[in-house]
């Protein structure tokens, strides 16, 4: 499954949200939201989460303190949402705080995952077409 594109939504008055329909249609029923890199949240299907994290995390030795701390940090941000009949769920406060989400969010499809950014963070980083596609092509050596 591949996700791409940008969608904008806002939390409702009860802090409920839903995954945009075009993304939700490709996402498995069991999906996980967790803290991501650079202040965003990751949304991953169960299979993708297992491929990226679970196998590696299960192999960590208990005496590897730095790696165990990283595991604890990740696990403390994980949410398996419980959707209502309309596909809405409450975004946990710790995830809202982690990504500095107050109301408006931007969903970005990044191939095997969805990223959720606060609208402010997204605009500061990529707003006004700050992304130079030529730089991306050079970086990837395409």
CATH at 69: 3.40.1550.20
Distance CA 9, CA 106 (A): 7
- Write the pLDDT tens digit of every residue in 14-39: 989 999 999 999 998 889 999 999 99
Question: Does 131 score more than 70 pLDDT?
Answer: no
- What is the model's pLDDT at position 105? 97
Distance CA 90, CA 83 (A): 8
What's the rounded mean pLDDT across residues 93-113?
94
Residues with Cβ < 8 Å from 47, sequence gap 6 or more? 28
- Write the pLDDT tens digit of every residue in 41-62: 999 998 888 887 777 777 777 7
C-alpha triplet 123, 46, 84: angle, nearest 5°: 75
Domains: count for the chain: 1
Domain ranges, residue 82: 3-140
Distance CA 40, CA 97 (A): 10
The answer to whether the CB of 95 falls within 8 A of the CB of 35 is yes
Question: Does 139 score more than 70 pLDDT?
Answer: yes
What is the DSSP annotation of 74-110?
Answer: HHHH-B-----TTS-EEPPHHHHHHTT-SSEEEEEEE
């Amino acid at each position: 499954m591949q996700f791409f594109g940008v969608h904008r939504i806002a939390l409702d008055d009860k802090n409920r949200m839903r995954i945009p329909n075009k993304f939700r249609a490709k996402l498995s029923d069991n999906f996980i939201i967790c803290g991501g890199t650079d202040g965003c949240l990751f949304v991953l299907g169960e299979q993708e989460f297992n491929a990226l994290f679970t196998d590696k995390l299960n192999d960590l030795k208990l005496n590897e303190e730095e790696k165990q701390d990283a595991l604890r940090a990740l696990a403390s941000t994980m949410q398996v949402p419980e959707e209502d009949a309309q596909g809405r769920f409450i975004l946990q406060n710790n995830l809202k705080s982690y990504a500095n989400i107050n109301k408006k969010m931007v969903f970005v499809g990044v191939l095997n995952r969805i990223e959720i950014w606060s609208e402010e963070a997204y605009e500061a980083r990529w707003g006004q077409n700050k992304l130079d596609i030529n730089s991306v092509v050079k970086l990837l050596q395409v």
